[in-house]
Amino acid sequence: MSSGPSPSLTYRTFVELNSTDASTSSFRIGNVDPQRVDAPDAPTFVVTDSDNSGILGDTPGELARITTTPANYFTTQQNYSYWGKSQDNGTIVRFPSTRTPDGFTYFLLTNSEPSSFRQFDIVPSSNFSQAPLVLCFASGTRILTNRGEVAVEHLQ
């Protein structure tokens, strides 16, 4: 148990991914956020765990909360579920979509520069991991231990 802010990850850009087949063996890159991640007006995407365990993907189909700045950056709010992670610690979420072979559209939330992704390129799903993703606790978050509540930065 913890008190304080929920564990989260913050990203500065997104890449849309669409499965190329029903088994999701690869993705075609769709929309790429054109903002540079270091641009002062770049949006932010904060991902938190819906069950507050601090681990996304510890349960199958787990919902992930995404808060955007500016608010409602995505025109249609969705129920996102965690799908996986990228090698650079990006988070991949998905939502139901009738326009793809597997029935989902995916977003890779990342801090990699958008220029490293090209629309319509094919990316094998083996480039990503479906392992659970541990979220980070913000400084000052207190974790309940056998010694009582301890600030996360003081845990050893």
pLDDT tens for residues 23-51?
999 999 999 988 777 888 888 888 888 77
- pLDDT score of 1 more than 50: no
- Give the pLDDT band (50/70/90) at residue 15: very high
Identify which of 23, 9, 7, 1 has the alpha carbon closest to the alpha carbon of residue 86: 9
Question: What average pLDDT score do residues 76-91 get?
Answer: 84
Task: Report the distance separating Cα 54 and Cα 63, nearest Å.
Answer: 12
Banded model confidence at residue 137, pLDDT cuts 50, 70, 90: low
pTM of the predicted model, to two decimals?
Answer: 0.79
Angle at 104 between CA 101 and CA 109, to 5 degrees: 130
Characterize 62-99 residue by residue with b for buried, 16 or more Cβ atoms within 10 angstroms of its Cβ, and e for exposed.
Answer: bebebeeeeeeeeeeeeebbbbbbbeeebbbbbbeeee
128 residue type, one letter: F
Beta bridge partners of 82: 93
- pLDDT: which is higher, 87 or 15: 15
Q: 17: closest CA among 83, 111, 112, 89?
A: 83
Please list the residues that pair with 3 across neighbouring strands.
142
**Among 75, 72, 67, 69, CA closest to 91:** 67
CA distances 132 to 60, 83, 115, Å, are 10, 9, 27
